[in-house]
Amino acid sequence: MNLRSIKDEDVKNKKVFFRADLDVPLENGKIKDTTRLKAWLPTLEYLLKNQAHVFIAGHLGRPKPKLRFNNSELRIEEPEFSLRPVAEWLKNQLEIHSELKGVDIGGFKGWEITGNVSLLENLRFYKEEEANPSTSSGQAFSQKLASIADIYVNDAFSSSHRAHASIVGVAKLIPRFAGFRLLEEVDTLSRVLENPKRPLVMIIGGAKIETKLPLVEKMHGFSDYVLVGGEIAENDKVLLKVQHEKIKAKKSILLVADLTENKKDITEKTAENFLQVCQAAQTVVWNGPMGLIEEEEYQKGTNILAEGLGSLSSYRIVGGGDTLGFLKEKNILDKFSFVSTGGGAMLEFLAGEKLPGIEILKK
């Protein structure tokens, strides 16, 4: 896929709207896993090395803000969705020892990290961020964001399946480029989609059934095996199998997990069966946990699968925020061949969907 790379542009003294992946898990105001943050640091370092002035923007979680009648914008009031912990982390990464300073950035709240780096507060504090960029409110918000910069750089692959203001709206208004991490994600996943080493096994778990179910069907077009666990297996076991039977010229074999009595984990036997399939594979792609991993008693199936996959010599890709956090906690993450920062974006890309944030960066 031929995308406009940031290396194609002279960024010296340019103001850069840098759309980064800032959606990290927090616990008591502390960042639990920095995998997604570290992924875009090389692009930031490149921009700073080439004397750009960088405005970093993104979102955290799914805040449910309240309307303030003295302001046309919808803002959050719960501090747990603030990006301040990310600002503190970034300050430490750049070895800045002064106190974090709050600033106004073109009408947006944020923090000055260094003289050349600023971070905007959570863009989901504004209802217009998720509005269609083609609407009047979406256009106005996109123009306001674009007005603070000369060029746009997207390094947030995990959000590139959403046609939001900071992904598509701003990119329409100023010269646009892909960051290094986004280019690596697209290159790696394209090779899996177009010419993988076979057998190819897709493992899909987690929740978000309404979005994953149609994607599972499309996975049959290029996978040799599709293994389904997690909540999606419990709620749609029959439907998954019915869909599979209807697919013409299918080449994949579908295995849907058996769940434990409480329905919150896959059985140990299923986990072992999944691993047996993976042991014969040349490429394995895993997205989504097998159980309710927030509680340790329901991690067993995911843990068996994770430890088994970590010991294989085949090419193994893993993605999805919950899955990455679990693997990081268990010290297994670095055993995988490639760690994708995308969850839904990764699945949609592999299902052959056109991601708005990627499409707009094509040459």
Selection from 256, 343, 264 nearest residue 296 by Cα: 264
**C-beta of residue 123 within 8 angstroms of C-beta of residue 58:** yes
- Write down the pLDDT at residue 91: 96
- Write down the pLDDT at residue 76: 45
The list of the chain residues with pLDDT below 70 reads 65-78, 208-211, 234-251
- Write down the pLDDT at residue 316: 98
Give the span between the Cα atoms of 338 and 333, in whole angstroms.
9
Domains of the chain: residue spans and CATH: 6-183 (3.40.50.1260), 196-350 (3.40.50.1260)
* DSSP bridge partners of 254: 226
- Write down the pLDDT at residue 232: 73
248: exposed, middle or buried (Cβ count in 10 Å: 0-12, 13-18, 19+): exposed
The one-letter amino acid at 188: T
Q: Is pTM beyond 0.85 here?
A: yes
Give the span between the Cα atoms of 206 and 327, in whole angstroms.
14
- Write down the pLDDT at residue 241: 67
Token pair belonging to 117: 């780096």
Give the span between the Cα atoms of 328 and 333, in whole angstroms.
5
